[in-house]
Each structure stands twice: as structure tokens, then as C-alpha cells.
Amino acid sequence: MENLSIEQALRNAVEAELAAARFYSRLAEHTTDPTARRLVQQLHDDELKHAAAIELMSRRLGKVLPVHATDGYAMVEIEHEWDLDSNINYLSVLERAIAAERKASRFYGTLATAFTGEARSFFDELSMVEELHANRLLKLLEKARG
């Protein structure tokens, strides 16, 4: 992440969140389990809120974001179509979501180390939020497994 401007990092983060929202939408399409579907819809909505928060932060910082993200941003929370079974059960949805949220946490943690001050704090906070999501999902998984 050397030589990454704060503007580019913020654009990458927005695009990663939008990619995550698309991932959760696709996951919802691949399950008939109503509980799993509600869960991934909530995760989808959370990712859209994250993208909006990142855009708000960029405006607050007075940054004009590049039009495009750099390569690799979209792999933060998504799986390839061929990884999605035709009917994913609740436990599998939880496992995939936990992995995705942890990957996002690591992504933001890495971004945080590239900056100082408010930008670093912001990316650290995003990392923590993603880890909190993963922990919440892990509790649901443990409960579902009994």
C-alpha cells in the first residue's frame, strides 16, 4: 500500500463496500433459508451504510475521490460466482459472512497503517467495525450449532 493517497484509499474502501453489498445480494439469491436471507439482507444494508460513511468522511476531509478504485479492491469481501452453491444453508451463510468480514477487517487494518492522524483513526475504526460484525456472526454460528 505504499504511495497510496488518502483519496485513493477512500475510493478503494467505498468500492470494496459496494462490492461487499453485491456479494451479500448474490448470497441472498443462493439461499432459500428465510433466516439466512434476512441476515444477508441486513449485511447488504450495513455495507451500503459503510460506503456512505466513507464518502461522508472524504467530504469531511475535503477530499475529491478518484473516479476509479485501484485493482484488487473488489476482492475484499466477495467470492467468485463459482464458489456459490445453488442453495446455501444458514450455517454456510454464516461461515462465509464471517470470513468476509474478517477479510475486510484486515483490509482496513492494513490501510490504517499507511496513514496517520484522522485517516488512520478512521480506517482503524472501520477495521474494528468489521471485526465486531464477524464476532456477532460467530455468536450466531455458535448458537445455531448448539
Instruction: Say what the pLDDT of residue 68 is.
Output: 86
Q: Is residue 1 part of a domain?
A: no
Pick the closest to residue 40 from 16, 20, 15 (CA basis).
Answer: 20
Which of the pair, 87 or 23, is modelled with greater confidence? Answer: 23
Q: How many residues does the chain have?
A: 146
Q: What is the mean pLDDT of residues 111-138?
A: 94
Phi, psi of 63 (to 5 degrees): -100, 140
Phi-psi region of 114 (alpha: psi -120 to 50; beta: other; left: phi over 0): alpha
- Is residue 71 pLDDT above 60, yes or no? yes
Q: How many CB atoms lie within 10 A of CB 82?
A: 6
Total tally of structural domains belonging to the chain: 1
Q: Is residue 29 part of a domain?
A: yes
Q: Which residue range is the domain that position 119 belongs to?
A: 6-145
Written as nine digits, the cell of 112 is 490504517
**What pLDDT band is residue 55 in, cutting at 50, 70 and 90?**
very high
Q: How many CB atoms lie within 10 A of CB 99?
A: 14
**CATH code (residue 23):** 1.20.1260.10
Calpha distance 61→56 (Å, rounded): 9
Q: Average model confidence (pLDDT) for the chain?
A: 87
Q: Is residue 53 part of a domain?
A: yes
- Is residue 119 pLDDT above 50, yes or no? yes
Q: What is the pLDDT of residues 26-47, one digit of tens each?
A: 888 888 889 989 999 999 999 9
Give the number of C-alpha atoms closer than 13 A to the C-alpha of residue 74, restricted to the C-beta side.
Answer: 9
- Is residue 79 pLDDT above 80, yes or no? no
